[in-house]
Homo-oligomer: A and B are copies of this chain.
Amino acid sequence: MTLIRRLLTAARILALGVLFTLGTGVRAQADPLPSWNEGPAKQAILSFVQATTDPASPTFVPPSERIATFDQDGTLWVSHPVYTQMMYSLERVPALVEANPALAQEEPFKTVMRFLAGDRAAIATLDEKDLAKIAAATLTGMSVEAFNADVKRWISAARDPRWKRPYTELTYLPMQEVLRFLRSSGYQTYIVTGGGQDFVRAYSDGTYGIPPAQVVGSAGATKYGYAKDGEPVLIKEPKLLLHDDGPGKPEAIHLMIGRRPRAAFGNSGGDAQMLEYTKAGEGARLSMIVLHDDARREYAYGPAQGLPATKIGTFPQALYDQAKKQGWVVVSMKDDWKTIFSFE
Protein backbone atom coordinates (compact mmCIF):
# COMPACT_ATOMS: atom_id res chain seq x y z
CA MET A 1 0.00 0.00 0.00
CA THR A 2 2.83 2.40 0.79
CA LEU A 3 3.99 2.85 -2.79
CA ILE A 4 0.44 3.36 -4.08
CA ARG A 5 -0.24 5.85 -1.32
CA ARG A 6 2.92 7.80 -2.11
CA LEU A 7 2.13 7.93 -5.80
CA LEU A 8 -1.48 8.88 -5.13
CA THR A 9 -0.34 11.58 -2.76
CA ALA A 10 2.02 12.87 -5.43
CA ALA A 11 -0.80 12.91 -7.98
CA ARG A 12 -3.09 14.69 -5.53
CA ILE A 13 -0.45 17.30 -4.79
CA LEU A 14 -0.07 17.84 -8.52
CA ALA A 15 -3.85 18.26 -8.88
CA LEU A 16 -3.97 20.66 -5.94
CA GLY A 17 -0.97 22.52 -7.30
CA VAL A 18 -2.77 23.06 -10.58
CA LEU A 19 -5.84 24.27 -8.69
CA PHE A 20 -3.97 26.65 -6.44
CA THR A 21 -1.75 28.05 -9.16
CA LEU A 22 -4.72 29.02 -11.28
CA GLY A 23 -7.22 29.36 -8.45
CA THR A 24 -6.49 32.86 -7.28
CA GLY A 25 -6.93 34.47 -10.65
CA VAL A 26 -9.88 32.42 -11.79
CA ARG A 27 -11.81 32.36 -8.55
CA ALA A 28 -12.41 36.09 -8.67
CA GLN A 29 -14.03 35.66 -12.08
CA ALA A 30 -16.11 32.57 -11.37
CA ASP A 31 -19.37 33.70 -9.80
CA PRO A 32 -21.05 30.84 -7.94
CA LEU A 33 -24.35 32.78 -7.95
CA PRO A 34 -24.75 34.20 -11.48
CA SER A 35 -28.57 34.39 -11.25
CA TRP A 36 -28.40 36.72 -8.27
CA ASN A 37 -28.21 40.49 -8.67
CA GLU A 38 -25.47 42.18 -6.69
CA GLY A 39 -26.85 43.31 -3.34
CA PRO A 40 -27.05 42.50 0.36
CA ALA A 41 -28.75 39.08 -0.11
CA LYS A 42 -26.10 37.74 -2.50
CA GLN A 43 -23.36 39.29 -0.38
CA ALA A 44 -24.75 37.63 2.77
CA ILE A 45 -24.44 34.18 1.18
CA LEU A 46 -20.89 34.80 -0.08
CA SER A 47 -19.79 36.23 3.28
CA PHE A 48 -21.34 33.36 5.22
CA VAL A 49 -19.55 30.73 3.13
CA GLN A 50 -16.26 32.61 3.42
CA ALA A 51 -16.69 32.99 7.21
CA THR A 52 -17.41 29.29 7.77
CA THR A 53 -15.05 27.61 5.28
CA ASP A 54 -11.88 29.70 5.35
CA PRO A 55 -9.56 27.93 7.84
CA ALA A 56 -8.21 31.32 8.91
CA SER A 57 -11.67 32.58 9.85
CA PRO A 58 -12.48 32.81 13.59
CA THR A 59 -15.91 31.31 12.76
CA PHE A 60 -14.55 28.40 10.68
CA VAL A 61 -16.82 25.32 10.79
CA PRO A 62 -15.38 21.81 10.31
CA PRO A 63 -16.87 20.07 7.24
CA SER A 64 -18.70 17.46 9.34
CA GLU A 65 -20.74 20.24 10.97
CA ARG A 66 -21.68 22.07 7.77
CA ILE A 67 -25.44 21.56 7.63
CA ALA A 68 -27.82 23.71 5.58
CA THR A 69 -31.60 23.21 5.54
CA PHE A 70 -34.09 24.35 2.90
CA ASP A 71 -37.84 24.52 3.02
CA GLN A 72 -39.21 23.35 -0.33
CA ASP A 73 -42.62 24.85 -1.24
CA GLY A 74 -42.16 28.53 -2.04
CA THR A 75 -38.44 28.40 -1.19
CA LEU A 76 -37.01 25.98 -3.77
CA TRP A 77 -39.93 25.83 -6.20
CA VAL A 78 -43.31 27.39 -6.97
CA SER A 79 -46.05 26.53 -4.47
CA HIS A 80 -48.70 29.03 -5.53
CA PRO A 81 -51.67 28.88 -5.87
CA VAL A 82 -51.71 25.15 -4.94
CA TYR A 83 -48.96 22.96 -3.49
CA THR A 84 -47.77 20.43 -6.06
CA GLN A 85 -48.37 17.62 -3.61
CA MET A 86 -51.96 18.75 -3.21
CA MET A 87 -52.40 18.43 -6.99
CA TYR A 88 -51.09 14.87 -6.75
CA SER A 89 -53.47 14.00 -3.94
CA LEU A 90 -56.43 15.67 -5.66
CA GLU A 91 -55.86 13.70 -8.84
CA ARG A 92 -55.99 10.45 -6.88
CA VAL A 93 -59.50 11.23 -5.59
CA PRO A 94 -61.53 10.02 -8.64
CA ALA A 95 -60.15 6.48 -8.25
CA LEU A 96 -61.10 6.61 -4.60
CA VAL A 97 -64.63 7.81 -5.37
CA GLU A 98 -65.02 5.11 -8.00
CA ALA A 99 -64.12 2.47 -5.41
CA ASN A 100 -66.45 4.06 -2.82
CA PRO A 101 -69.15 6.19 -4.53
CA ALA A 102 -70.55 7.48 -1.20
CA LEU A 103 -67.43 9.68 -0.90
CA ALA A 104 -68.69 11.85 -3.78
CA GLN A 105 -71.18 13.42 -1.33
CA GLU A 106 -68.64 13.85 1.51
CA GLU A 107 -66.28 16.80 2.10
CA PRO A 108 -63.58 17.47 1.19
CA PHE A 109 -63.99 14.93 -1.63
CA LYS A 110 -67.12 16.64 -2.99
CA THR A 111 -65.18 19.91 -3.43
CA VAL A 112 -62.26 18.09 -5.02
CA MET A 113 -64.54 16.48 -7.62
CA ARG A 114 -65.99 19.93 -8.41
CA PHE A 115 -62.48 21.34 -8.76
CA LEU A 116 -61.36 18.55 -11.06
CA ALA A 117 -64.52 19.02 -13.14
CA GLY A 118 -63.33 22.56 -13.94
CA ASP A 119 -64.46 24.76 -11.03
CA ARG A 120 -60.93 26.08 -10.34
CA ALA A 121 -62.13 28.49 -7.63
CA ALA A 122 -63.40 25.60 -5.50
CA ILE A 123 -59.82 24.88 -4.43
CA ALA A 124 -59.65 28.11 -2.42
CA THR A 125 -61.98 26.64 0.18
CA LEU A 126 -59.55 23.79 1.01
CA ASP A 127 -56.91 24.18 3.70
CA GLU A 128 -54.00 22.10 5.05
CA LYS A 129 -56.28 19.94 7.19
CA ASP A 130 -58.25 19.00 4.08
CA LEU A 131 -54.99 18.11 2.33
CA ALA A 132 -54.03 15.89 5.24
CA LYS A 133 -57.43 14.18 5.14
CA ILE A 134 -57.21 13.65 1.39
CA ALA A 135 -53.62 12.44 1.61
CA ALA A 136 -54.49 9.96 4.35
CA ALA A 137 -57.46 8.64 2.40
CA THR A 138 -55.61 8.34 -0.90
CA LEU A 139 -52.27 6.95 0.28
CA THR A 140 -52.99 4.66 3.18
CA GLY A 141 -52.53 0.98 2.52
CA MET A 142 -49.94 1.36 -0.26
CA SER A 143 -46.49 -0.12 0.11
CA VAL A 144 -43.70 2.46 0.27
CA GLU A 145 -42.32 1.15 -3.05
CA ALA A 146 -45.72 1.39 -4.80
CA PHE A 147 -46.14 4.95 -3.52
CA ASN A 148 -42.66 5.94 -4.66
CA ALA A 149 -43.30 4.51 -8.14
CA ASP A 150 -46.69 6.23 -8.36
CA VAL A 151 -45.26 9.67 -7.46
CA LYS A 152 -42.44 9.20 -9.98
CA ARG A 153 -44.99 8.35 -12.69
CA TRP A 154 -47.24 11.27 -11.80
CA ILE A 155 -44.53 13.91 -11.52
CA SER A 156 -43.01 13.05 -14.88
CA ALA A 157 -46.42 13.36 -16.58
CA ALA A 158 -48.04 16.29 -14.71
CA ARG A 159 -47.83 19.86 -16.02
CA ASP A 160 -48.24 23.14 -14.19
CA PRO A 161 -51.29 24.98 -15.59
CA ARG A 162 -49.51 28.36 -15.99
CA TRP A 163 -46.13 27.46 -17.45
CA LYS A 164 -47.25 24.14 -19.04
CA ARG A 165 -44.07 22.50 -17.78
CA PRO A 166 -43.27 19.65 -15.39
CA TYR A 167 -43.35 20.87 -11.80
CA THR A 168 -39.74 19.78 -11.41
CA GLU A 169 -38.74 22.52 -13.90
CA LEU A 170 -40.37 25.17 -11.71
CA THR A 171 -37.49 25.23 -9.24
CA TYR A 172 -35.83 28.59 -8.65
CA LEU A 173 -32.49 28.78 -10.45
CA PRO A 174 -30.98 31.15 -7.83
CA MET A 175 -31.76 28.59 -5.11
CA GLN A 176 -30.36 25.75 -7.19
CA GLU A 177 -27.17 27.81 -7.37
CA VAL A 178 -27.17 28.21 -3.59
CA LEU A 179 -27.58 24.43 -3.16
CA ARG A 180 -24.66 23.73 -5.50
CA PHE A 181 -22.48 26.48 -4.04
CA LEU A 182 -23.00 25.23 -0.48
CA ARG A 183 -22.32 21.62 -1.48
CA SER A 184 -19.14 22.59 -3.34
CA SER A 185 -18.17 24.40 -0.11
CA GLY A 186 -18.48 21.20 1.92
CA TYR A 187 -22.03 21.69 3.17
CA GLN A 188 -24.59 18.91 3.37
CA THR A 189 -27.86 20.26 2.00
CA TYR A 190 -31.17 19.03 3.44
CA ILE A 191 -34.75 19.68 2.45
CA VAL A 192 -36.89 20.34 5.55
CA THR A 193 -40.45 20.53 4.27
CA GLY A 194 -43.95 20.62 5.69
CA GLY A 195 -44.83 18.47 2.67
CA GLY A 196 -44.76 14.70 2.66
CA GLN A 197 -41.33 13.19 3.16
CA ASP A 198 -42.04 10.19 0.92
CA PHE A 199 -43.51 12.43 -1.78
CA VAL A 200 -40.46 14.71 -2.00
CA ARG A 201 -38.02 11.80 -1.81
CA ALA A 202 -39.43 10.40 -5.06
CA TYR A 203 -37.87 13.25 -7.09
CA SER A 204 -35.43 15.11 -4.77
CA ASP A 205 -32.30 13.45 -6.09
CA GLY A 206 -32.97 14.22 -9.75
CA THR A 207 -34.45 17.66 -9.09
CA TYR A 208 -32.16 19.08 -6.42
CA GLY A 209 -29.26 16.62 -6.13
CA ILE A 210 -30.53 15.78 -2.64
CA PRO A 211 -30.74 12.05 -1.78
CA PRO A 212 -33.73 10.56 0.09
CA ALA A 213 -31.85 10.41 3.41
CA GLN A 214 -31.43 14.20 3.27
CA VAL A 215 -35.15 14.89 2.89
CA VAL A 216 -36.90 15.65 6.20
CA GLY A 217 -40.64 16.10 5.87
CA SER A 218 -44.01 15.42 7.38
CA ALA A 219 -44.18 11.67 7.67
CA GLY A 220 -46.80 9.07 8.32
CA ALA A 221 -46.07 5.85 10.14
CA THR A 222 -45.40 2.67 8.21
CA LYS A 223 -46.11 -0.87 9.32
CA TYR A 224 -43.75 -3.79 8.71
CA GLY A 225 -45.56 -6.90 7.53
CA TYR A 226 -45.69 -9.53 4.81
CA ALA A 227 -47.28 -9.52 1.34
CA LYS A 228 -49.35 -12.47 0.08
CA ASP A 229 -46.22 -14.06 -1.38
CA GLY A 230 -44.53 -13.89 2.03
CA GLU A 231 -42.16 -11.05 1.05
CA PRO A 232 -41.59 -8.43 3.77
CA VAL A 233 -43.24 -5.11 3.00
CA LEU A 234 -43.67 -1.65 4.58
CA ILE A 235 -47.24 -0.37 4.31
CA LYS A 236 -48.16 3.32 4.69
CA GLU A 237 -50.44 3.94 7.67
CA PRO A 238 -52.86 6.84 8.30
CA LYS A 239 -51.06 7.79 11.54
CA LEU A 240 -49.03 11.03 11.38
CA LEU A 241 -45.60 10.55 12.95
CA LEU A 242 -43.92 13.88 12.16
CA HIS A 243 -45.70 17.15 11.46
CA ASP A 244 -42.73 19.00 10.02
CA ASP A 245 -44.03 22.54 10.25
CA GLY A 246 -43.49 25.45 12.65
CA PRO A 247 -41.90 24.18 15.89
CA GLY A 248 -42.00 20.72 14.28
CA LYS A 249 -39.16 21.78 11.96
CA PRO A 250 -36.40 22.20 14.58
CA GLU A 251 -37.80 19.12 16.36
CA ALA A 252 -37.58 17.05 13.15
CA ILE A 253 -34.13 18.48 12.39
CA HIS A 254 -32.95 17.21 15.76
CA LEU A 255 -34.52 13.80 15.18
CA MET A 256 -33.30 13.33 11.62
CA ILE A 257 -30.01 15.27 11.47
CA GLY A 258 -28.97 15.65 15.10
CA ARG A 259 -27.19 18.95 14.57
CA ARG A 260 -28.35 22.57 14.52
CA PRO A 261 -28.08 23.93 10.97
CA ARG A 262 -25.54 26.62 10.14
CA ALA A 263 -27.78 28.00 7.39
CA ALA A 264 -31.53 27.79 6.81
CA PHE A 265 -33.83 29.02 4.05
CA GLY A 266 -37.60 29.45 4.18
CA ASN A 267 -40.48 31.57 2.95
CA SER A 268 -43.42 31.35 5.34
CA GLY A 269 -44.61 31.29 8.92
CA GLY A 270 -44.05 27.53 9.00
CA ASP A 271 -40.31 28.20 8.68
CA ALA A 272 -40.05 30.78 11.48
CA GLN A 273 -38.84 28.41 14.21
CA MET A 274 -36.27 26.75 11.91
CA LEU A 275 -34.86 30.14 10.94
CA GLU A 276 -34.87 31.40 14.51
CA TYR A 277 -33.26 28.20 15.86
CA THR A 278 -30.56 28.27 13.19
CA LYS A 279 -29.74 31.96 13.70
CA ALA A 280 -29.57 31.54 17.51
CA GLY A 281 -26.60 29.15 17.30
CA GLU A 282 -23.11 30.38 18.11
CA GLY A 283 -20.67 31.51 15.41
CA ALA A 284 -21.60 32.53 11.87
CA ARG A 285 -25.19 31.59 10.96
CA LEU A 286 -27.33 32.44 7.96
CA SER A 287 -31.14 32.56 7.98
CA MET A 288 -32.80 33.66 4.75
CA ILE A 289 -36.43 34.12 3.82
CA VAL A 290 -37.80 34.44 0.30
CA LEU A 291 -40.39 37.17 -0.26
CA HIS A 292 -42.73 36.50 -3.17
CA ASP A 293 -43.02 40.02 -4.51
CA ASP A 294 -42.73 39.44 -8.25
CA ALA A 295 -46.24 39.37 -9.71
CA ARG A 296 -44.94 39.44 -13.27
CA ARG A 297 -42.33 36.68 -13.33
CA GLU A 298 -43.87 34.52 -10.53
CA TYR A 299 -46.43 35.66 -7.91
CA ALA A 300 -46.83 38.40 -5.30
CA TYR A 301 -48.57 37.30 -2.12
CA GLY A 302 -48.48 37.52 1.67
CA PRO A 303 -49.50 40.48 3.84
CA ALA A 304 -45.93 41.78 4.14
CA GLN A 305 -45.43 45.03 2.22
CA GLY A 306 -49.09 45.19 1.32
CA LEU A 307 -49.13 42.04 -0.83
CA PRO A 308 -52.41 40.10 -0.97
CA ALA A 309 -53.10 37.41 1.65
CA THR A 310 -53.39 33.72 0.77
CA LYS A 311 -54.70 30.79 2.70
CA ILE A 312 -51.47 28.78 2.53
CA GLY A 313 -47.79 29.68 2.48
CA THR A 314 -48.31 33.09 4.00
CA PHE A 315 -45.61 35.62 4.81
CA PRO A 316 -47.32 37.68 7.53
CA GLN A 317 -46.07 41.08 8.64
CA ALA A 318 -45.05 39.55 11.98
CA LEU A 319 -42.63 37.26 10.15
CA TYR A 320 -41.14 40.19 8.28
CA ASP A 321 -40.69 42.04 11.58
CA GLN A 322 -39.09 38.95 13.18
CA ALA A 323 -36.69 38.67 10.24
CA LYS A 324 -35.58 42.27 10.67
CA LYS A 325 -35.27 41.95 14.44
CA GLN A 326 -33.30 38.67 14.42
CA GLY A 327 -31.04 39.47 11.50
CA TRP A 328 -32.46 37.09 8.90
CA VAL A 329 -31.88 38.14 5.32
CA VAL A 330 -35.04 38.85 3.31
CA VAL A 331 -34.67 37.90 -0.37
CA SER A 332 -36.79 39.93 -2.77
CA MET A 333 -37.55 37.78 -5.81
CA LYS A 334 -38.15 40.96 -7.79
CA ASP A 335 -34.93 42.75 -6.85
CA ASP A 336 -32.47 40.02 -5.87
CA TRP A 337 -33.06 37.45 -8.61
CA LYS A 338 -31.81 38.21 -12.12
CA THR A 339 -33.33 35.00 -13.41
CA ILE A 340 -36.01 32.94 -11.68
CA PHE A 341 -36.30 29.81 -13.85
CA SER A 342 -33.66 28.03 -15.89
CA PHE A 343 -36.00 27.97 -18.93
CA GLU A 344 -36.35 31.77 -19.06
Contacts and interface: CB of A to CB of B under 8 A. Distances in A.
Interface of A: 1, 3-4, 7-8, 10-12, 14-15, 18-19, 22-23, 26, 29-30, 64, 67, 144, 188, 197-198, 201, 205, 211-213, 215, 219, 221-225, 231-232, 234, 241-242, 247-248, 250-251, 254-259, 273, 276-277, 280
Nearest to A13: B11
Nearest to A204: B258
> In this complex, which of A23, A26, A234 has the most chain B Cβ atoms within 10 angstroms of its Cβ?
A234
A225 B254 CA distance: 14
Given A3-B22, A232-B276, A277-B232, A224 B212 contact: no
Contact of A277 (B219, B224, B242, B258): B224
A153 B13 CA distance: 39
Nearest to A11: B15
Given A224-B273, A225-B247, 14 more contacts: A4-B18, A4-B26, A12-B15, A15-B15, A64-B211, A67-B213, A219-B255, A224-B248, A224-B251, A232-B273, A232-B276, A232-B280, A234-B254, A234-B277
Contacts of A26: 1, 3-4
A254 B11 contact: no
A59 B23 CA distance: 40
Contacts of A241: 241, 255
A8 B4 contact: no
